[in-house]
């Protein structure tokens, strides 16, 4: 699918702009236009349409309140902005002569023909191809009370440049006016094309001026996701189908699984001097690296090591410092899924179309299941797509042409589709879904997540709470997140039932095996683009976590020493 950058409001806009893009190593075959119709077949255009940019211009528009512009401008502002593909000529090659029909909704989910006042609007776009097939896209719009000009306006605040661009930190700081000018230009571009500024402004417009800084649970992006989820459930009937509250995890009388608590290495069953050995490795590491980090180690639920090393921007980081853990998020999303599996609400081998009507199995050779979605065997691509409110529509339209169960293709989109189903079941946008069913019950204080594959912020201690729940095979204190039988389904296994008997691919539900540097053969976890660590040794009852911004210098030399210093200290 080439390279795609997903922007989610101003915060993630700059994350994306500074290099967090997704690219696919596999080259898609070039589609060929039909000599009969002059445009691509539905099969050939399926993947190109997934990445086709479709926009309102502008997505942030204004309301005229004075009489000074009674002419053309005043008439235009009684209507919504127009929309189309960024490249209409290319779109006609895919679709032939296509028609666009838009239904607009105000913030109260009422269909409107004209924008009655300032604030949020949602556009449900139906694109009808010449052959009659219809493609659906959702876009957020925002109407301002009056015309806004960004020219010459100084945006306040500072943005830190991630390492690796060859620009010294002090240079970036001293030249912040140039950075400010760039940011103002970026915002101006978003006004004209990207609906993500509309998402940001709509959310902030709906916040109280008395509110302080908000968490990801109440951010503009989450508010937008929740708004669209509510509308989607109204339109597809799932609000009535799934109206009951789902209770999980379950409190179990007599259950007393280990929970994390601070203690000594002796209480944890570690050899004397293990803490000093781990500290020595990490102290040497941070002195030979350009990256700070925090680390947490627990055995049998006893946290005998929880420390932070190094500083960032002249300030020491602490054990409370959070970092983006990237693909370790997949272990969290896998845990979330298995809670619903354990309650019998869904099964791993259920077609996702039972909940997501966009995935109609009528013309599909192999129905896509949650097992396909969470083991990367659903022939989907890319990361950072969770925030597409129309993701299930985009992939549902391509669904008949995907090679389900044909190959293992690592991505985040398929997991996002599975989590869209959980959203439809509960009526909760994913950040709130995580919080209600996983993070709050575990007592997590720092961790927040906005997607199912990458964007989770946590310190090492809260990540270890999730690790301890997995070490307990789905329990934590008196709470049962999922049963032993369900936990076994989650573990990595050969995917011969999905990919056929000749496959060598082994994968779990958000988990893979890690077996080096003294870890046992039954150690689970997941990798991370930022080189954060989650290791859960099921034999040694050991949980190891580390959070950091990126690998930095000498990661490959010191990380194995860190793990070995821990595993060599296990006493019994």
Q: What is the pTM of this model?
A: 0.88
Tokens of 419: 């989590």
pLDDT higher than threshold 60 for residue 549: yes
Beta carbons within 10 angstroms of residue 455's beta carbon:
25
Q: What is the pLDDT of residue 14?
A: 33
Q: For residues 37 and 383, give the distance between their C-alpha atoms in angstroms, rounded to a whole number.
A: 34
Task: Tell me which residue range forms the domain holding 88.
Answer: 1-205
CB 225 within 8 A of CB 389: yes
Q: What is the largest CA-CA distance in the chain?
A: 84
Position with higher pLDDT, 214 vs 25 = 214
User: Given a cut of 80, is residue 78 above it in pLDDT?
Assistant: no
Q: 185-206, pLDDT tens digit by residue?
A: 777 666 666 788 899 889 999 9
Give the pLDDT confidence of 222-274 residue by residue, as tens digits.
Answer: 999 999 999 999 999 999 999 989 989 999 999 999 999 999 999 999 999 99
Helices (H) and strands (E) in the chain, counts: 20, 26
Cβ 546 vs Cβ 246: under 8 Å: no
Strand partners for 544: 297, 535
Is residue 185 domain-resident?
Answer: yes
Q: Which residue has the higher pLDDT, 434 or 31?
A: 434
pLDDT of residue 273: 97
Pairing of strands 293-299, 542-548: antiparallel
Q: What is the pLDDT of residues 364-403, one digit of tens each?
A: 999 999 999 999 999 999 999 999 999 999 999 999 999 9
Q: Are 488 and 450 in contact (CB under 8 A)?
A: no
Whether 47 shows a pLDDT value over 70: the answer reads yes
Does some domain include residue 224?
no
Indicate the DSSP class of residue 57: E
pLDDT tens for each residue of 262-310: 999 999 999 999 999 999 999 999 999 999 999 999 999 999 999 999 9
Domain count, the chain: 1
Inside any domain, residue 415: no
For residue 287, tell me if it sits in a domain. Answer: no
Contacts of 488 (CB under 8 A, 6+ apart): none
Predicted local distance difference test score (pLDDT) of residue 162:
64
pLDDT confidence bin for 154, thresholds 50/70/90: low
**CA dist 76 → 61, 104, 188 (Å):** 11, 16, 20
- Confidence at 15, pLDDT banded by 50, 70, 90: very low
Quick one: pLDDT at residue 347? 97
In a domain, 141, yes or no: yes
Tokens of 395: 């992939």
Asked whether the predicted pLDDT for residue 442 surpasses 70, the reply is yes
**Would the pLDDT of 43 be above 90?**
yes
Take residue 309 and report the two structure tokens written for it. Answer: 């090393």
* 393 belongs to a structural domain: no
Q: How far apart (Å, rounded) are the C-alpha atoms in residues 452 and 431?
A: 9
Share of the chain above pLDDT 70, in %: 86
pLDDT of 9 above 60: no
Q: At residue 20, does pLDDT exceed 90?
A: no
Task: Kindly list the distances between the CA atom of residue 294 and the CA atoms of 69, 431, 442, 550, in Å, as whole numbers in the listed order.
Answer: 59, 24, 20, 12
Does residue 180 have a pLDDT over 50? yes
Q: How far is CA 37 from CA 50, 52, 84, 99, in A?
A: 22, 21, 22, 16
Q: Which helix (H) or strand (E) holds 557?
A: helix 555-567
Question: How would residue 164 be classed by pLDDT, with cut points 50, 70 and 90?
Answer: low
Q: What does the mean pLDDT of the chain come to?
A: 88
CB 215 within 8 A of CB 223: no
Q: What is the mean pLDDT of residues 68-89?
A: 71
The arithmetic mean of pLDDT across residues 181-188, rounded, is 73
Residue range 478-488, pLDDT digits in tens = 999 999 999 99
> What are the angstrom distances between the C-alpha of 235 and each of 116, 240, 357?
22, 10, 11
Q: What is the pLDDT of residue 485?
A: 97
Q: 557 or 67, which is more confident?
A: 557
Determine the Cα–Cα distance for residues 286 and 248; give it in Å rounded to an integer.
41
pLDDT at 149: 60
Confidence band (pLDDT; 50, 70, 90) for 168? confident
pLDDT value at residue 3? 26
Cβ atoms of 441 and 476 closer than 8 Å: yes
**Average of per-residue pLDDT across 520-542:** 97
* pLDDT score of 134 more than 50: yes
Does 565 fall in a domain?
no
CA 458/CA 446 separation, integer angstroms:
6
C-beta of residue 195 within 8 angstroms of C-beta of residue 59: yes
pLDDT bucket at 35, cuts 50 / 70 / 90: low
Distance CA 347, CA 486 (A): 10
- CATH number of the domain bearing residue 91: 2.60.40.1080
Q: Give residue 13's pLDDT band: very low, low, confident or very high (50, 70, 90).
A: very low
Counted residue by residue, the chain has a size of 572
Lowest average pLDDT, out of 241-245, 339-343, 433-437, 507-511, goes to 241-245
**Measured CA angle at 534 (ends 335, 415), to 5 deg:** 40
Predicted confidence at residue 82, as pLDDT, reads 93
Residue 512 parent element (H or E): strand 512-513
Euclidean distance between CA atoms 477 and 496, whole angstroms: 36
Range scoring the smallest mean pLDDT among 4-13, 74-83, 86-95: 4-13
HEC letters along 331-355: HHHHHHHHHHHHCCCCCCCCEHHHC
**Dihedral of alpha carbons 476, 480, 483, 487, sign:** negative
More confident residue, 115 or 38: 115
Locus of tokens 């941070």: 286
Report d(CA 160, CA 143) in Å as an integer: 31
Does residue 571 form part of some domain? no
Using alpha carbons only, how large is the chain's radius of gyration in Å? Answer: 25
């Amino acid at each position: 699918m080439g390279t795609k950058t997903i922007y989610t409001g101003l915060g993630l806009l700059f994350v994306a702009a500074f290099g967090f893009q997704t690219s696919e190593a596999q080259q898609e075959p070039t589609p060929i236009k039909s000599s009969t119709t002059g445009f691509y077949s539905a099969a050939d255009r399926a993947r190109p349409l997934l990445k086709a940019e479709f926009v309102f211009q502008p997505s942030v528009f204004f309301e005229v309140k004075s009489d000074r512009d009674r002419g053309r401008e005043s008439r235009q502002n009684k209507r919504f902005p127009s929309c189309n593909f960024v490249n209409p000529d290319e779109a006609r090659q895919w679709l032939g002569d296509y028609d666009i029909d838009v239904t607009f909704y105000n913030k109260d989910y009422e269909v409107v023909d004209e924008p009655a006042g300032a604030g949020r609007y949602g556009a449900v776009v139906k694109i009808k191809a010449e052959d009659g097939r219809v493609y659906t896209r959702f876009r957020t719009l925002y109407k301002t009370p009056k015309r806004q000009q960004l020219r010459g306006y100084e945006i306040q605040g500072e943005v830190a440049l991630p390492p690796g661009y060859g620009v010294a930190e002090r240079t970036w700081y001293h030249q912040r006016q140039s950075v400010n000018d760039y940011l103002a230009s970026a915002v101006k571009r978003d006004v004209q094309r990207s609906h993500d500024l509309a998402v940001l402004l709509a959310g902030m417009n709906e916040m109280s001026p008395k509110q302080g800084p908000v968490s990801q649970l109440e951010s503009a992006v989450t508010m937008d996701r929740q708004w669209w989820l509510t509308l989607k459930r109204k339109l597809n009937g799932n609000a009535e189908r799934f109206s009951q509250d789902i209770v999980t995890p379950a409190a179990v009388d007599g259950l007393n699984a280990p929970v994390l608590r601070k203690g000594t290495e002796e209480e944890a069953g570690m050899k004397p001097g293990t803490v000093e050995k781990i500290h020595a490795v990490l102290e040497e590491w941070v002195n030979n690296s350009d990256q700070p980090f925090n680390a947490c180690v627990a055995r049998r639920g006893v946290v005998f090591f929880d420390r932070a090393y190094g500083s960032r921007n002249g300030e020491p980081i602490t054990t409370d410092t959070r970092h983006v853990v990237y693909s370790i998020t997949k272990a969290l999303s896998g845990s979330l899924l298995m809670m619903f599996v354990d309650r019998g609400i869904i099964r791993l081998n259920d077609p996702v179309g039972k909940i997501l009507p966009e995935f109609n199995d009528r013309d599909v050779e192999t129905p896509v299941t949650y097992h396909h979605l969470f083991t990367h065997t659903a022939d989907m691509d890319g990361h950072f797509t969770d925030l597409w409110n129309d993701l299930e529509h985009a992939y549902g339209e391509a669904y008949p042409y995907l090679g389900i169960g044909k190959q293992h293709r690592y991505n985040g989109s398929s997991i996002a589709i599975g989590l869209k189903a959980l959203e439809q079941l509960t009526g909760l946008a994913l950040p709130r879904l995580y919080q209600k069913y996983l993070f709050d019950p575990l007592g997590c204080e720092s961790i927040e997540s906005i997607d199912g594959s990458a964007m989770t912020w946590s310190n090492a201690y809260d990540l270890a709470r999730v690790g301890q729940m997995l070490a307990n095979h789905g329990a934590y204190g008196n709470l049962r997140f999922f049963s032993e039988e369900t936990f076994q389904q989650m573990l990595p296994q050969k995917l011969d039932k999905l990919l056929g008997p000749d496959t060598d691919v082994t994968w779990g539900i958000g988990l893979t095996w890690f077996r080096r540097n003294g870890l046992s053969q039954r150690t689970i976890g997941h990798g991370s683009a930022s080189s954060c660590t989650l290791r859960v040794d099921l034999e040694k009852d050991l949980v190891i976590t580390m959070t950091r911004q990126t690998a930095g210098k000498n990661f490959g030399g010191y990380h194995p020493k860190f793990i070995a210093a821990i595993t060599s200290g296990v006493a019994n």
